[in-house]
Amino acid sequence: MRQLCVIGSGYVGLVTGTCFADLGNKVTLVDIDERKIEMLQAGRMPIYEPGLAETVLRNTEAGRMRFTTAYEEGLHEAEFVFICVGTPSGVDGEADLQYVRAAAQTIAKTMRRALIVINKSTVPVGTGDWTTEIISSNQPQPVDFAVVSCPEFLREGSALADFMHPDRTVLGSTNRAAAETVAELYAPLDAPIVITDIRTAEMIKYASNAFLATRISFINEISIICERLGADVTEVARGMGIDKRIGPHFLQAGVGFGGSCFPKDVKALANMAQTHGMHPQLLNAVMEINAFQRRQITLKAREMLGGSVSGKTVAILGLAFKENTDDIRESPALTVARSLLNQGATVKAYDPVAMGNASRDVTGITLCDSPYGAAEASDALLVLTPWNEFKHLDMKRVLKSMRRPILIDGRNMYSPEELRAIGFEYRGVGRGYNGAGASDNGGGDSPAH
């Protein structure tokens, strides 16, 4: 059993601490947000993540996990301290490191024994060196420490499984012995461990997320071309994905990527390049395509409703940026909702878990207690988050309750043939051909890249 302190109770911190506790370690999770700590001490989760509540409860009852607002309590017996705080986008897309700085300063002032400081927050290249300088300059008296970069690769909605069954663990440090000690902590996960210098480890995280975002924007660009030329992007992606050099992952055309990682990390990497005198053409294009893909949904709704959404009632199914999470950060669905509201539409919506967060973020949306309640008396229905329950709706009931039979499938969840057969006016994403010559042309607008 090792003694761990985790700073931050967001997705990364709470999942990291919980999973290490589940591996038999003793974990103290520290957060300066008293409300979050009080919730966790009472057995309530500040975030939604499948399986998390049960795992937290199991480990708190076993005495392997506790929660506090006091750094002194967290660091008292700790051998490792994980920095898992937020790094939101700044004005120019740069990563805002104020929370990392605050954590490093407080660790420096509080530590009384040798520590390995592990940075799991997504931070710009060079932050490891910067963190080392902050801790050294803020210690009341010298205490031995080392800084290791260990970027996280957790997907919201499957974060516990991703932690326990990772593709790899990446570790970077100027202190090889410290990196190898952290590797021992991760050894029970039985996954490849990549040990490198600290700046390379930091870049691996950004390069990985930027590449995945690029795949999404690529297939979304292809989807626009498919709509114009009469091809079906779902079949194009399937045909591409069989090729072992390409593979099927992240080739699902839709409304674009969102969440707390991809948008922020692509912007931050582009900012790093620009700051050092480079022109990140591909990264800029990835962001432009992603923004346009969201506008495509509104363009389709406007075209199908006779050229304007003003005075129309539009229902949205799904508000989280993806399924199995309540996270609405950079959610494409909320971008679409705001655009519709700004154009004079009445917007109704339903999401299985994200409506509480959405209600605090966007005003003007009528939140409904079921998908059927959202669809009732609506002029158009937009499906924007691929929750499993949306796949199994009684679509004849949905159709019967609507004022107009317009359905825009932003995730290509449904069969165009089946929905058109029961009476829907159906549009998907990049589905220009449905076997009967019907076109999904989204109104003729083309992206201005």
| Residue 244 pLDDT greater than 60, yes or no | yes
Q: What is the pLDDT of residue 439?
A: 46
Domains and CATH numbers, the chain: 3-196 (3.40.50.720), 232-427 (3.40.50.720)
Residue 433: band (very low, low, confident or very high) from pLDDT cuts 50, 70, 90 = low
Residue 88: band (very low, low, confident or very high) from pLDDT cuts 50, 70, 90 = confident
Q: What is the pLDDT of residue 213?
A: 98
Helix, strand or coil, per DSSP, at residue 94: coil
Q: Residues with catalytic annotation?
A: 261
Q: In this predicted model, what pLDDT tens digit does every residue of 263-310 receive, in sequence order?
A: 999 999 999 999 999 999 999 999 999 999 999 999 999 999 999 999
Query: From the DSSP assignment, how many helices (H) and strands (E) are in the chain?
Result: 18, 14
Helix, strand or coil, per DSSP, at residue 232: strand
DSSP result, 194-231: EEE-HHHHHHHHHHHHHHHHHHHHHHHHHHHHHHHHT-
Q: In this predicted model, what pLDDT tens digit does every residue of 47-61 receive, in sequence order?
A: 999 999 999 999 999
Residue 141: band (very low, low, confident or very high) from pLDDT cuts 50, 70, 90 = very high
Q: What is the pLDDT of residue 443?
A: 41
DSSP result, 331-357: -HHHHHHHHHHHTT-EEEEE-SS-HHH
- pTM for the whole thing? 0.91
Q: In this predicted model, what pLDDT tens digit does every residue of 272-283 receive, in sequence order?
A: 999 999 999 999
Name the DSSP class of 154: P
